[in-house]
């Protein structure tokens, strides 16, 4: 996993609540055995007017000229709800997003983002609203500083938090499986005490 | 004096391998269920790092998401699906994992298969790369869906890192009225909490109405925990649970089973346990439920009308209502019983067990006696949850009741719940579905889903619209 330190990028505002992972990456694109090839299908049903994905929908935020190259997705509450498919964060990451900012995330989606190094940032409803308003006024670029836990732009600076280990894992690009495999003795000691039925 | 513990806290303590300052707590995973869609990349990473599956005997695989419901041939599901199914076969063989593949007597939807084989036990932690893993919480197991990176972590270590959730108690007081199903109970709960009402929580369902449910009904309730954001749903194991588990193929036997029951009896929340949130419903107020919108929380009683955006004070809910009415092509004020459907799906990990099929068949029979058949404008399919369910249903003659009335009787799989195979709705189709998600495009691009119980879905097939069976 790549290390995450600071990131400055253009914001794409997705002004919809309860965006589910079926919308982020519909089921017909889950039939892959590889980890790549999902970005092109991100938000497929909203992004394209046709099922084949040939005709971009000009109304959809990610198709608008002013948001080309966006790397920060600004979203509304309960982002990433529904299916546990990690293909959703994979698709967002492959499309070019490094950061998702929302007032709340679904639990599984949030964990999946952390595990692949895509930074999910929770801000208050009020802060999110300010960012949507700023974005509506013209191109919004935000600076994300993970070590200092800040989101800033000009005179605004909002702070966010992650759990200690999640913060460390993102900053250091920790191989979480390798990390746990270093603790096999503790796991084996636990197993030795388990009841027979377990 | 310290307060007592909730069931979640007991399960947590019993599985805590390490809780080191500065690290996310490490929990032991007793059972890992896998399927073809969310596992291939995890296996690929194991291979890349040259890591084995640490406890292959604790992982069980089945094929369910992608498969055809018309044929047990792997190729019948199309090239992409067949690729994933073959990859699962190859991976299971290489890493020593038991697989219930196509044609196997134990094959079925992962959350139907696990419980019916006794792989799902109280007091365990069960994970699967599927959000409806919450189903297994019906046994008093801490069960939740995980992403593919976590699937890999469980493969390699038999553990997971998890932050502790908050606790919510949902008490359903008293008894439900006649004809009210477990699906109606859980949809009513979601209607009350909203689609994200339990985000960050593990929910425990309790109260007389919950205790009165069979294991299969409890599974229906816990299955939909994720649909209001809960990490997991739990129901305290009791005699109903022990009786269900006893004698199942993979359940402990003899003295070990007796010891297990003694341990499982300790799991229920202490009387003085404190929950972060408590929600109470009166069972007698719960009516048959139908979703009208595009999240499971957009649900209303069968005797109600489609709501108006003006009914919602919260601006985001108001906006969601506008969008949902537009997508669903519904007008505010329309009576729910006036909504017509052209597709009916009875199946999914929510409602495809034998009791669901019996309930649906009962409704079908009562309508057939009044001269009804599946109406000519409706295509209706029934997809049993597993081979075992299918065989049981056929031994009871349920398949005949369905097919004589005009339903299609299919082979087990996830099918139209998510439409990864060819069981998809066309644009503009309107479906009465016993599944768990009514998201935009879930059952097919531009299609419209109304979530209901098996009884309500059966009645919709035979009349072409929603029916208040208790009117």
Query: Is the CB of residue A10 less than 8 Å away from at least one CB of chain B?
Result: no
Domain B292-463 class, CATH top level: alpha beta
Q: 10 Å Cβ neighbour count for B11?
A: 25
pLDDT of residue B458: 98
The overall average pLDDT reported for chain B is 97
pLDDT band at A36 (very low <50, low <70, confident <90, very high): very high
B349 is annotated as contributing to ligand binding = yes
Average pLDDT over residues B240-256: 98
How do the residues of chain A divide into helix, strand and coil, expressed in percent and rounded to 5? 40, 20, 40
Q: Give the start-to-end residue ranges of the domains of chain A.
A: 7-139
Q: 10 Å Cβ neighbour count for A116?
A: 17
Q: How many CA atoms lie within 13 A of A109 on its CB side?
A: 31
Question: How many Å apart are CA A117 and CA B422, to the nearest integer?
Answer: 34
Closest CA to B437 of B456, B418, B412, B424: B418
Q: 10 Å Cβ neighbour count for A94?
A: 17
- Quick: pLDDT tens for B420-468: 999 999 999 999 999 999 999 999 999 999 999 999 999 999 999 999 9
pLDDT of residue B471: 84
Cβ-defined contact of B316 to A111 (cutoff 8 Å) = no
Query: Is the CB of residue A53 less than 8 Å away from at least one CB of chain B?
Result: no
Residue of A88, A91, A107 to mutate when probing chain B, most B C-beta within 10 A: A107
Q: Give the start-to-end residue ranges of the domains of chain B.
A: 7-161, 166-236+260-285, 292-463
Burial B18-50 (b: 16+ CB within 10 A, else e): beeeebbbbbbbbbbbbbbbbbbbbbbbbeeee
Helix axes B398-405, B387-395, angle to 10 degrees: 80
Bridge partners (DSSP) of residue B205 are B170, B235
pLDDT band at B3 (very low <50, low <70, confident <90, very high): confident
Bridge partners (DSSP) of residue B450 are B432
Instruction: Tell me the three state secondary structure of residue B366.
Output: helix
Both tokens of A182, joined, read 């270093």
Return all residues near B50 (Cβ < 8 A) that are at least 6 apart: none
Bridge partners (DSSP) of residue A157 are A152
Return all residues near A154 (Cβ < 8 A) that are at least 6 apart: none
Whether B7-161 and B292-463 share one fold: the answer is yes
Q: Which fold has domain B7-161?
A: Aconitase; domain 3 (3.30.499)
Q: 10 Å Cβ neighbour count for B434?
A: 29
User: Which residues from chain A sit within 8 angstroms of residue B27, using beta carbons?
Assistant: none
Minimum-distance CB partner of A20 among B146, B439, B445 = B439
The A residues from 105 to 134 touching B (CB cutoff 8 Å) are 105-108, 111-112, 115-116
- Quick: pLDDT tens for B279-338: 999 999 999 999 999 999 999 999 999 999 999 999 989 999 999 999 999 999 999 999
Both tokens of B67, joined, read 């498969």
- Quick: pLDDT tens for A149-175: 999 999 899 999 999 999 999 999 999
Average pLDDT over residues A96-104: 98
pLDDT band at B1 (very low <50, low <70, confident <90, very high): low
B417 is annotated as contributing to ligand binding = yes
- For residue A109, give Cα distances in angstroms to B22, B148, B254, B279, B343: 22, 11, 41, 25, 31
Instruction: Quote the percentage of chain B above a pLDDT of 70.
Output: 100
Q: Where are the beta strands (DSSP E) in B287-363?
A: 289-291, 299-301, 343-346
Minimum-distance CB partner of A86 among B121, B147, B200 = B147
Bridge partners (DSSP) of residue B60 are B33, B98
Both tokens of B225, joined, read 């925990």
Both tokens of B101, joined, read 């593949």
pLDDT band at B111 (very low <50, low <70, confident <90, very high): very high
Closest CA to A96 of A61, A60, A121, A72: A72
User: Which residues from chain A sit within 8 angstroms of residue B23, using beta carbons?
Assistant: 164-165
Instruction: Quote the percentage of chain B above a pLDDT of 90.
Output: 98
Q: Which fold has domain A7-139?
A: Aconitase; domain 4 (3.20.19)
Both tokens of B384, joined, read 């049993």
Q: How far is A169 from chain B, CA to nearest CA, in Å?
A: 10
Handedness of CA A70, A72, A75, A79 (dihedral sign): positive
Cβ-defined contact of A17 to B144 (cutoff 8 Å) = no
Question: How many Å apart are CA A166 and CA B92, to the nearest integer?
Answer: 31
- DSSP states along A166-195: HHHHHHHT--HHHHHHTTHHHHHHHHHTS-
Residue B462, Cβ density class (10 Å: 0-12 exposed, 13-18 middle, ≥19 buried): buried
pLDDT of residue A105: 98
Question: How many Å apart are CA B454 and CA B217, to the nearest integer?
Answer: 12
Query: Is the CB of residue A192 less than 8 Å away from at least one CB of chain B?
Result: no
- Is pLDDT at B183 greater than 70 in this prediction? yes
- Quick: pLDDT tens for B15-73: 999 999 999 999 999 999 999 999 999 999 999 999 999 999 999 999 999 999 999 99
> Which is more confidently placed, B196 or B7?
B7
Average pLDDT over residues B393-399: 98
Burial A46-62 (b: 16+ CB within 10 A, else e): bbbeeeeeeeeeeebbb
Query: Is the CB of residue B420 less than 8 Å away from at least one CB of chain A?
Result: yes
pLDDT of residue B277: 98
Taking one residue from A and the other from B, the number of pairs with CB-CB distance under 8 angstroms is 188
Instruction: Choose the CATH number for B166-236+260-285 among 3.30.70.240, 3.90.550.50, 3.20.20.140, 3.40.1060.10.
Output: 3.40.1060.10
Q: 10 Å Cβ neighbour count for A36?
A: 9
pLDDT of residue A1: 84
């Amino acid at each position: 996993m790549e290390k995450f330190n600071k990131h400055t990028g253009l914001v794409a505002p997705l002004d919809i609540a309860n965006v589910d992972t079926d919308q982020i990456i519909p089921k017909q694109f889950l039939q892959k055995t590889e980890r790549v090839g999902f970005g092109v299908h991100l938000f497929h049903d909203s992004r394209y007017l046709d099922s084949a994905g040939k005709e971009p929908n000009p109304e959809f935020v990610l198709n608008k000229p002013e948001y080309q190259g966006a790397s920060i997705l600004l979203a509304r509450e309960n982002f990433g709800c529904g299916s546990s498919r990690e293909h959703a964060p994979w698709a967002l990451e492959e499309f070019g997003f490094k950061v998702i900012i929302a007032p709340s995330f679904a639990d599984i989606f949030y964990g999946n983002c952390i595990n692949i190094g895509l930074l999910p940032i929770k801000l208050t409803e009020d802060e999110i609203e300010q960012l949507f308003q700023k974005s509506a006024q013209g191109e919004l670029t935000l600076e994300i500083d993970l070590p200092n836990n800040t989101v800033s732009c000009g005179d605004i600076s909002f702070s966010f938090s992650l759990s200690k280990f999640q913060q460390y894992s993102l900053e250091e690009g920790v191989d979480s499986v390798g990390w746990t495999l270093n603790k096999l003795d503790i796991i084996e000691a636990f197993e030795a005490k388990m009841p027979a039925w377990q | 004096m310290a307060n007592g513990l909730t069931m979640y806290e007991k399960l947590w303590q019993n599985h805590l391998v390490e809780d080191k300052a500065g690290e996310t707590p490490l929990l032991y995973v007793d059972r890992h269920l896998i399927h073809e869609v969310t596992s291939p990349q995890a296996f690929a990473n194991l291979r890349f790092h040259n890591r084995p599956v640490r406890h292959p005997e604790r992982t069980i695989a089945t094929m369910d998401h992608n498969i055809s419901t018309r044929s047990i041939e792997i190729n019948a599901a199309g090239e992409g699906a067949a690729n994933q199914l073959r990859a699962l076969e190859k991976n299971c063989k290489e890493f020593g994992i038991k697989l219930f593949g196509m044609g196997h007597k134990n094959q079925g939807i992962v959350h139907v298969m696990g419980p019916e084989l006794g792989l799902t036990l109280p007091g365990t932690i069960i994970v699967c790369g599927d959000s409806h893993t919450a189903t297994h919480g019906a046994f008093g197991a801490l069960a939740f869906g995980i992403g593919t990176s976590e699937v890999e972590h469980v493969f390699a270590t038999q553990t997971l890192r998890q932050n502790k959730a908050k606790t919510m108690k949902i008490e359903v007081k008293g008894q439900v009225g006649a004809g009210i199903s477990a699906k109606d109970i859980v949809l009513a709960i979601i209607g009350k909490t909203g689609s994200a009402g339990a985000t960050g929580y593990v929910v425990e369902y309790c109260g007389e109405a919950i205790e009165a449910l069979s294991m299969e009904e409890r599974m229906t309730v816990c299955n939909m925990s994720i649909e209001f954001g809960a990490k997991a749903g739990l129901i305290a194991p009791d005699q109903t649970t022990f009786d269900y588990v006893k004698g199942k193929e993979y359940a402990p036997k003899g003295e070990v089973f007796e010891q297990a029951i003694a341990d499982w009896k300790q799991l229920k929340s202490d009387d003085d346990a404190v929950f972060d949130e408590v929600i109470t419903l009166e069972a007698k107020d719960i009516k048959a439920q139908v979703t009208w919108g595009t999240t499971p929380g957009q649900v209303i009683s069968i005797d109600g009308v489609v709501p108006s955006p003006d009914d919602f004070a919260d601006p985001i809910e108001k906006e969601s209502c506008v969008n949902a009415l537009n997508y669903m092509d519904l007008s505010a004020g329309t009576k729910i019983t006036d909504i017509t459907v052209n597709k009916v799906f009875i199946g999914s990990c929510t409602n495809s067990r034998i009791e669901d099929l019996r309930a649906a068949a009962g409704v079908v029979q009562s309508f057939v006696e009044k001269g009804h058949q599946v109406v000519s404008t409706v295509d209706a399919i029934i997809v049993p949850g597993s081979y075992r369910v299918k065989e049981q249903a056929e031994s009871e003659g349920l398949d005949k009741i369905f097919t004589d009335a005009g339903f299609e009787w299919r082979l087990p799989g996830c099918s139209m719940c998510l439409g990864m195979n060819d069981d998809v709705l066309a644009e503009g189709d309107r479906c009465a579905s016993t599944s768990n998600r009514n998201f935009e495009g879930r059952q097919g691009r531009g299609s419209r889903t109304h979530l209901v119980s098996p009884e309500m879905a059966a009645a919709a097939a035979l009349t072409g619209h929603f029916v208040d069976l208790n009117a």
